[in-house]
Amino acid sequence: MFTKSDWTDQKIEVIIANLLRAGVTLAAMVVFTGGVIFLMRHGKEPAGYHVFTGEPSNLRNWRGIVHAAFALRARGIIQLGLLMLIATPVARVAFSVFAFVLERDWLYVGVASFVLLVLFYSLLGSAM
Amino acid sequence: MSNLEFTILVGLGSFMAGFLGALTGLGGGVVLVPLLALVFKVDIRYAVGASLVSVIATSSGAAVAYLKDGFSNIRIGMFLEVATTVGALFGAFLATKVSTSAIGAVFGIVLIYSGYLSSRTPVDPPPGEQPDPLATRLGMNGVYPSLSGPKSYFVHRVPLGFGLMFGAGGLSGLLGIGSGAVKVLAMDHAMGIPFKVSTTTSNFMIGVTAAASAGVYLSRGYVDPGLAMPVMLGVLAGSLSGARVLARTKTKQLRWVFGAVIVALGVEMIYGAFTGKL
């Protein structure tokens, strides 16, 4: 038999899955737009990924990326789309914390919050 | 090669990787890095960064498709994510410390192992007698729909599964792959979770695990927009079409072929690592 909590879990999963699809669609559209601009401006330049130089510092943190994207720099727009993409699983975990609070499952509120903290540490701590 | 030609070729290659990955259930990420590194001569650090981003796209994009099965267990997934995210952070930091040939060699071993896994037919573990008391306390035991009505399952050996998940997260962070194969192994072999439940829960975990290392990769400058753009769009389009075709194809032979390709790429990666070509 399905218990009440299974049913709630299922309903939450539906919301989360649609949220994720919307996030990925939006991110893909931003990446695509940036890609078209990038190829229009730099399509004929030679591609060079053989030697690792690392990205310029403004494309390594979210402030710089947002700044570059709003200045309509093609690589900045793509990077913004990628940042949005990375944010989708984070939103998923944040929503799960909220859902476990609704279910009053405090053990899993704690578990999901810990996962969320690790993600924030990675994204904000290192890419600030 | 100009940026335009490079984008088209890499986009097509990524589409194929995503398509075959979804069709065989092996994931596209595992062939992406060798494709970029061996065929397109991309530095392995850029390749790993682009692959990791595309792994997030496929995992999040496929969530709706998996949902229809109604098999995933959010509690198992969330609890094990504690291990995979911490492991992924550790792996990503390790990736910035070790040499590219070491990464290539580890990658080769993982490829050969994944190829071996693809030759096995998944068998559901026999219904366990005693659930792990820890699993019961964590509310992990669940029910999944089967042909003969809802079937309940118990979760076993939680500590072993948790440890394996730490390793899966570490590999994901080090190599920029979803390590779905290791995740399924931990869940269906170690913890005795039914195959359908472990694959869907694994997809749920892959995106979160990859996001944990993506921050580190981004801040170290491994994520190049010009490269990640065709890779991410190609893999996403490929895996979505692969999932659509999946319902009406026989995948057994395809799994064999794709498995053989993966093993060959693994050998090539190890060879490249030892001859200093990576």
Q: Tens of pLDDT along B12-35?
A: 999 999 988 887 777 777 889 999
Sequence-separated (6 or more) residues with CB below 8 Å from residue B89: A118, A121, A122, B173, B212, B213, B216
Structurally, chain B folds into a number of domains equal to 1
Going by C-alpha positions, the residue among B226, B223, B222 that lies closest to residue B6 is: B226
> Residues 8..67 of B with a Cβ closer than 8 Å to A: which?
40-43, 45-46, 53, 56-57, 59-61, 63-64, 66-67
Going by C-alpha positions, the residue among B197, B226, B255 that lies closest to residue B27 is: B255
Q: What angle do CA B250, B253, B255 make, to 5 degrees?
A: 95
Beta bridge partners of B150: B145
Residue of A nearest to B43 (CA): A50
Report the alpha-carbon distance of residue B182 to residue B135 in Å, rounded.
20
Which residue type occupies B218?
A: L
| Res A1 pLDDT > 60 | no
Structurally, chain A folds into a number of domains equal to 1
Share of chain B above pLDDT 90, in %: 47
pLDDT tens track for A67-90: 999 999 999 999 999 999 999 999
| Domain extent for B14 | 3-274
State residue B153's pLDDT score: 86
pLDDT tens track for B176-235: 998 877 887 788 888 988 877 888 888 878 999 999 999 889 988 999 999 999 999 999
Report the alpha-carbon distance of residue B236 to residue B140 in Å, rounded.
31
State residue B127's pLDDT score: 60
- Reported confidence tier of residue B248, pLDDT bands at 50, 70, 90: low
A38, A47, A89 ranked by CB distance to B1: nearest:
A47
- Side-chain-facing half-sphere of B163: CA atoms under 13 Å: 5
**Candidate from A114-123, B181-190, B229-238, B264-273 with smallest mean pLDDT:** B181-190
> Residues 68..127 of B with a Cβ closer than 8 Å to A: which?
70, 72, 74-75, 78-79, 81-82, 85-86, 89, 92
| Res A58 pLDDT > 90 | no
pLDDT tens track for A6-52: 556 677 778 888 888 899 999 999 999 999 999 999 999 998 898 88
Q: Is residue B216 within 8 Å of A118, Cβ to Cβ?
A: no
Give the global pTM. 0.90
Q: What angle do CA B134, A113, B53 make, to 5 degrees?
A: 105
Report the alpha-carbon distance of residue A102 to residue B133 in Å, rounded.
26
ipTM of the complex: 0.89
pLDDT tens track for B112-125: 988 887 777 666 66
Sequence-separated (6 or more) residues with CB below 8 Å from residue B92: A122, B173, B174, B212, B213, B216, B217
Region B67-75 average pLDDT: 75
Three-class secondary structure of residue A59 per DSSP: helix
| Domain extent for A17 | 4-127
pLDDT tens track for B158-168: 999 999 999 99
> Residues 8..47 of A with a Cβ closer than 8 Å to B: which?
9-10, 12-14, 16-18, 20-21, 23-24, 27-28, 31-32, 34-35, 38-39, 42-47
State residue B202's pLDDT score: 86
Mutate to test the interface with A, among B71, B81, B202 (most CBs of A within 10 A): B81
- Reported confidence tier of residue B268, pLDDT bands at 50, 70, 90: very high
| Res B147 pLDDT > 80 | no
